[in-house]
Structure 1
Amino acid sequence: MKINLLFALSLLVSATVSAEDIKIDLKQLAQQYFDTMVATQAPGATQVELENHLNLFADDVGHSHLPWVIDDTRLPDGKEQMREGMTFYLGAHTEYSAELLDVFTFNNSAIAIRYKNYAKGVHPQNNQPIEYSQVMMEVLEIENGKITVIRKYHE
């Protein structure tokens, strides 16, 4: 009986420690997300920068970028779809800069970041010059220390 009670208590303590290990500093994650995202947009960005960014995501990450991508459904190959889409645009900018304006955190489950960016380059699909500056807000949902849903909005 004592052995069963001891075993049950050890499982409870183990589960509590595991749950504590998953708690993360959301402000730090927001900064890491922003830094790695900016690195993927820089001229000369490579697969290394892309993989550093994708390492923050769950495998089934969902993504919307209104008005172009409206379905943020989490699919088993969500990270692979993002890798494919981001690889297509990798290296398209000849100039890129971004400034983080605001970070908001919501309990342990969500982050909102607001930033201003400037980009100049050539669109890889139509080879037309592009140049824009915009204010963006991204809402990131978090589970088990990984980004599970990304929603991008333009101001």
Structure 2
Amino acid sequence: MKKIVVALVGLVAFYHAHVVADNFDYDAFVKAYYQAQVATQQPDATKEDLEYYLSFLTEDVGNQHFPNAPDDSREPDGKALMRKGMSRYLGVHTEYKAELISYEVGYNAVVIKHKFAARGKRADGSEFSYAKTALDVLELEAGKVAIMRRYSK
């Protein structure tokens, strides 16, 4: 009897996960996620902008971002590590422009193609600028980003 109850609970949980996934609004998610990400790069980006962006991530998010973060392993404090790393760069851009080129969605996955360009000043006063086209691959879990991989040139 115990095995039947465990099996039924598992089946209900499995069914619920599929219904939630089938009803997930990928389009709304991509637009909100992308806008939140772009807001963190603006010259006037705030800690509130960063926290809003982080709200899209699981606590144990894995982040692969070549060449600086080549490992996509999920860490128990992945979101905290992202917060720490991204906090150092808040407000360093003097200009930032971004454009969402396209996106594709699949079951619990999103691929975002976008381009961005920035200018700014480092802590030592030196200036920098860059322009890139990137492909972000996001794996979702319960409606949040669990693993992100950025490929850019």
| Alignment TM-score, normalising by the size of structure 2 | 0.86
The Cα shift of 1:14 comes to 6.9
Q: Which residue is 1:102 aligned to?
A: 102
Alignment of 1:75-154 (within 5 A): 75-107=75-107, 109-124=108-123, 126-154=124-152
The Cα shift of 1:127 comes to 3.3
Question: Residue 133 and residue 12 in structure 1: after superposition, are their counterparts in 2 closer, same or farther (change >3 A)?
Answer: closer
- Give the greater-gyration-radius structure (CA): 1
1:119 aligned partner, one-letter code? A
Runs of 4+ in structure 1 deviating by more than 6 angstroms, as ranges, are 11-14
Q: Number of paired residues?
A: 146
Structure 1 SS opposite 2:139: strand
Structure 1 SS opposite 2:148: strand
The Cα shift of 1:150 comes to 0.7
The Cα shift of 1:63 comes to 0.2
Q: Which ranges of structure 2 fall in alignment gaps of 5 or more residues?
A: none
Q: Distance in 1 between matches of 2:19 and 2:65?
A: 32
Question: Residue 92 and residue 75 in structure 1: after superposition, are their counterparts in 2 closer, same or farther (change >3 A)?
Answer: same
Query: Which one is further off, 26-35 or 49-58?
Result: 26-35
CA-atom RMSD in angstroms:
2.2
Query: Which one is further off, 18-27 or 61-70?
Result: 18-27
Structure 1 residues 33-89: Cα deviation after superposition (integer angstroms, max 9, x where no partner):
110000000011001100110000000000011111101100100000000000000
Q: Distance in 1 between matches of 2:105 and 2:28?
A: 10
Q: Which residue is 1:64 aligned to?
A: 64
Q: Distance in 2 between matches of 1:143 and 1:20?
A: 13
The share of aligned pairs that are identical, in percent, is 37
1:68 aligned partner, one-letter code? N
1:146 aligned partner, one-letter code? K
Alignment of 1:34-45 (within 5 A): 34-45=34-45
The Cα shift of 1:21 comes to 3.8
Q: Distance in 2 between matches of 1:100 and 1:112?
A: 11
Q: Which ranges of structure 1 fall in alignment gaps of 5 or more residues?
A: 1-6
